[in-house]
Amino acid sequence: MYSFLNEKAAHYEQPFFLESDPIQIPHQFSKKEDIEIIGFLIASIAWGNRLSIIKSGHKIIKLLEHDPLSFVLNHKKKDLAALLDFTHRTFNGIDLCYFIKALRHIYQHHGGLEKAFTINPKAENMDKNIHHFRSLFFELPHEKRTEKHVADPMRGSATKRINMFLRWMVRESKKGVDFGIWNRISPAQLSCPLDLHSGRVARSLGLIKRKQNDQKTVFELDTALRKLDPQDPVKYDFALFGLGVFEDFN
């Protein structure tokens, strides 16, 4: 299984992966802050049909006037009005407006996204760092409904979308997929994004036994993948996802 998963991870972690994956959206930018802002927003709406996610990602870029950091830092109340018509499944314009305001708060008062996500850069895993980020993100007045769009591992969530975003930001960019623009934490601390596809494949391979896709299962999968590669366990996300989506592995 070790050789099989390494082979599949290497096969799918290639530039062609971008063609059908939402990570193609932040790849339109070169500035660190633009990449992480768009990356965070796209990861936050990354559920459902991937083509729909990509389409919504292009809409977000247009709404942010193709200049994410500038829009986040310099927007006025009237600028947010154009965002109110946005919708992607249950993520609507009210949510997007709050995300923009919260991101400005993060950059102005908490040192930016990377620092906000890494209050404890030496943590064994990212659970408490994610929980801390979430508390910072919702410091401003907001509607309760918006909280569902930022998961909390301390409440049992698998935090699939946040773990995916962290993979994008932290893992090195030599293979042309992830960005490797954050250096306060290492790939060894990351957790594999767990969803329907990766969970099904992981169970078929005997990597996990639990039936639920929750935080306990993420920990179980972490344990198995870190035995295979302690320094970069989430490279196997490419193998599990690729096998599930492109090969319908069971």
List the structure tokens of 44.
């936050």
Cα–Cα distances (Å) from 234 to 4, 93, 130, 135, 198, in that order, read 15, 32, 17, 25, 12
Mean pLDDT of the chain: 97
Each residue's pLDDT tens digit, 1-37: 899 999 999 999 999 999 999 999 999 999 999 999 9
- Exposure letters 68-102 (e unless 16+ CB within 10 A, then b): bbebbeebeeeebeebeebebeebbbbbbbbbbbb
Cα–Cα dist 237/5, whole Å: 10
Each residue's pLDDT tens digit, 140-178: 999 999 999 999 999 999 999 999 999 999 999 999 999
The answer to whether 231 and 188 are in contact (CB under 8 A) is yes
Q: What is the pTM of this model?
A: 0.97
Cα–Cα dist 88/184, whole Å: 32
Spell out the domain ranges in the chain.
2-245
Each residue's pLDDT tens digit, 205-234: 999 999 999 999 999 999 999 999 999 999
